[in-house]
Amino acid sequence: METLPFEDELLRAAVTGRLSDEEWRSRIADDLKPVCGSAERARDLPAAWTALTGRVDPHVMGPLTEVRRTVPVVLLSNATTQLESYLAEIGLSESFDTVVNTVGHVVAAREAGLTGLHYRHVGQLRDAVAPLLRRG
């Protein structure tokens, strides 16, 4: 899938804190005006995708909850400024010991020797946390 010319630059600005989530969505709407035919239709697109929420996968939360009984679980994310409110909205605000939200913090964490896991399926998560569960 091809990205729009503004997409990478604006997303990078949003996930590094140079733009707030609201500013990011507003700028996207501005850039979509020519494609959508009107400012109102362009604003409707980010508003519609903002209304979408994901779902909490119990197959992921199960192992994380178990691991949390043994070691702290930290969510590292390169999300926008809306991450904390989004976690609250979907019932996950108390599911992590700490939430760190920017790409810069991820780099700093790795440099400090912390382990990070970017998993693509729950099996990778289970494999990664299995040694921690055997400790207790």
* Cβ count within 10 A of residue 120: 7
Average pLDDT over residues 15-37: 86
CA distances to 41, 110, 128, 129, 136 from 113, rounded to whole Å, are 47, 5, 16, 17, 23
109 pLDDT more than 80: no
Q: How confident is the model at residue 7 (pLDDT cuts 50, 70, 90)?
A: low
Average pLDDT over residues 122-128: 89
In which element (H, E) is residue 77 found? strand 74-77
119 pLDDT more than 50: yes
Q: The whole model's pTM is what? A: 0.60
**Rounded Cα gap, residues 64 and 54, in angstroms:** 18
